[in-house]
Amino acid sequence: MPVDSTTFRSVLGQWPSGVCVVTTAGPHGAHGMTASSFSSVSLDPPMVSVCLGNHLPSRSLLEAAGRFAISFLGKDQAHIGRRFAGQDRDITDRFAGFDWVTTPNGCPVLADAVAWLDCRIAYAYPGGDHTIFVGEVTEAATPRVGAPLLFHSRNWGQLADPLPEGIHLAVDVPAGDPLADTLRRGGARVRADGGCFEFPAGGPDGLPHPERIIAARQAGTTVIGYVPDAFDPSREDEVLATAGALSALGCDEIGLLESETVPASPLQVRRVLQDAVVRARPAALRVRLAGNNRLALVNALVAMKSGVSCFDVVAPGSPASGLPLGDLLHLSRQLEVGAPIGAADVADRASDLAQLRE
């Protein structure tokens, strides 16, 4: 006996998916609809599939045109998903107001899609009340690498990365401080020890020559490109582009620096990091928060929840400014995230230093 449709629908709602817009073009112009039934099928030849309801205009238009394109939606494009699902009742032209690019097959794709595929229909199989279209991919691009839009339990969503298992620290420690040894033993990096090739990205000298980076990596040196003012809302596109460029250059890590003068809002930290984590791959993201306050701790939590596990912090008594080591260790203990040393080690050291000053 077949499963009843309410149970079936609620079970399907538990399966999270990405969201795309399937488009085609025929003698009467372009047509598009939202779909979550996209799937990859074959690597060689490259093939993908999408299942369209037999009753939908999109289905007959795709079949007649013999071609379709897929635009993957980004986390900020739920309104486009809604519109191409026919959920904006007042909209007559689904395409109006967005930028489109025409693919070699003549189908429109979103200019700022996370990625797109251009396909020629290779097969169309019956699939109950849907048709399974298998397309041979003839062209593909990733115009705006970033976090994807998701659909789950009939709701739009975004990736929320789990907390990291552990944090990796680079610590500014005062010269001669015994805490430095405890940190080294725990696997933290003491910044004064050197051993890393660090450079500011976007400084007056621009980016280092690729051969310098190759040589440093061959010598076993960790290469870190630092992006200044990374959470300034007016610099978002530039920061993301720089993260992508540093990754392409071969950096092991990309450090995002908070401005010393303008505190970053948690919302902006989330916006930047969610996309920067994707752009930076395979490099890891490192974050240096400037503030010694509660907002900096909230931002550290947001960073961890956005997939960041590497932080630059400042030990007690260090002349450098930034997020205090003890605060981050305390936060990670509360979150059950592993850390190189215990918060108590730092608290003890801070009180030793306070006594020395008295």
Ligand X SMILES: Cc1cc2nc3c(=O)[nH]c(=O)nc-3n(C[C@H](O)[C@H](O)[C@H](O)COP(=O)(O)O)c2cc1C
Q: Is the Cβ of residue 19 or residue 329 nearer to ligand X in the bound state?
A: 19
**Contact status: 34 vs ligand X (CB under 6 A):** yes
| Contact status: 33 vs ligand X (CB under 6 A) | yes
Nearer to ligand X, 37 or 265 (CB): 37
CA–CA dist 307, 256 (Å, integer): 13
Smallest gap from residue 176 Cβ to ligand X (A) = 60
Interior CA angle at 92 toward 20 and 87, to 5°? 50
Are 83 and 73 contacting, i.e. CB atoms less than 8 angstroms apart? no
Q: Which of 25, 52, 283, 304 binds ligand X (CB under 6 A)?
A: 52
Does position 25 interact with ligand X (CB under 6 A)? The reply is: no
Using the rule CB under 6 A, is 58 a contact of ligand X?
Answer: yes
Q: Does 245 bind ligand X (CB under 6 A)?
A: no
- CA 260/CA 276 separation, integer angstroms: 20
Residue 81 touches ligand X, criterion: CB under 6 A: yes
CA separation for the pair 291, 268 (Å, rounded): 15
Q: Does 85 bind ligand X (CB under 6 A)?
A: yes
Least distance CB 118 / ligand X (angstroms):
19
Residue 57 makes contact with ligand X by CB under 6 A: yes
68 binding ligand X? (CB under 6 A): no
36 binds ligand X (CB under 6 A): yes
CB of 130 to ligand X, least distance (A): 6
Judged by CB under 6 A, the stretch of 48-56, 197-205, 244-252, 348-356 that binds ligand X is 48-56
Q: How far is the CB of 8 from ligand X (least distance, A)?
A: 15
The residue within the footprint of ligand X, chosen from 72, 98, 116, 151 (CB under 6 A), is 151
Using CB under 6 A, which of the segments 33-41, 194-202, 293-301, 334-342 binds ligand X?
33-41
C-alpha of 268 from chain center = 13
**Which range, of 78-86, 209-217, 227-235, 322-330, touches ligand X by CB under 6 A?**
78-86
Closest distance between ligand X and the C-beta of residue 198, in Å? 44
Cβ proximity to ligand X: between 133 and 226 the closer is 133
- Is the CB of 131 or the CB of 247 nearer to ligand X? 131
Is residue 26 near ligand X by the rule CB under 6 A? no
Give the separation between CA 191 and CA 169, rounded to whole angstroms: 10
User: CB of 305: closest distance to ligand X in angstroms?
Assistant: 24
> CB 90 → ligand X: shortest distance, Å?
15
Residues that bind ligand X (CB under 6 A): 19, 33-37, 51-53, 56-58, 81, 85-86, 151
